[in-house]
Amino acid sequence: MGDTDTFRILLVGDVSQVFLDADAVAQNRYEICDSISDAVDTASKSSFTAIGVVMYKTSKLESALKALRENCDARIILLAQMYEEPIAIKLVGSTFNGATLADDYLICPVEANRFKASLMLPQGGAETKTISPVTIDTTIEKRIRALEKMATEDDLTGLKNRRYILEFSRQIIECARATDEQVTLLIFDIDNFKHYNDVYGHLAGDEILKQAAVLMRRCCRKHDVVGRIGGDEFAVVFWDGGQAEPAGPEAERRSAADHPKEAIFIARRFRKEFEKAELHLLGPEGKGTLTISGGLASCPRGGSTVQKLFRQADEALLDAKRSGKNRIYLVGRPEKDIADIE
pLDDT of residue 187: 97
Contacts of 54 (CB under 8 A, 6+ apart): 11, 12, 13, 14, 15, 17, 18, 79
Q: In this predicted structure, what is the pLDDT of residue 277? A: 81
Task: Note the pLDDT of residue 320.
Answer: 93
Q: Do domains 3-144 and 162-340 have the same CATH topology?
A: no
7: left (phi over 0), alpha (psi -120 to 50) or beta: beta
For domain 162-340, give the fold.
Answer: Alpha-Beta Plaits (3.30.70)
- Is the entire prediction scored with pTM above 0.75? no
pLDDT on residue 335: 62
Residues with Cβ within 8 Å of residue 22, at least 6 apart in sequence: 15, 16, 112
Note whether 281 and 203 are within 8 A (CB). Answer: yes
Q: Where are the domains of the chain?
A: 3-144, 162-340
**Yes or no: is domain 3-144 CATH 3.40.50.2300?**
yes
pLDDT reported for residue 233: 97
Q: Which residue ranges in the chain fall short of pLDDT 70?
A: 1-6, 22, 26-28, 57-59, 118, 120-150, 241-259, 283-288, 301-303, 334-335, 340, 342
CB 158 within 8 A of CB 134: no
pLDDT at 57: 65
pLDDT at 39: 92
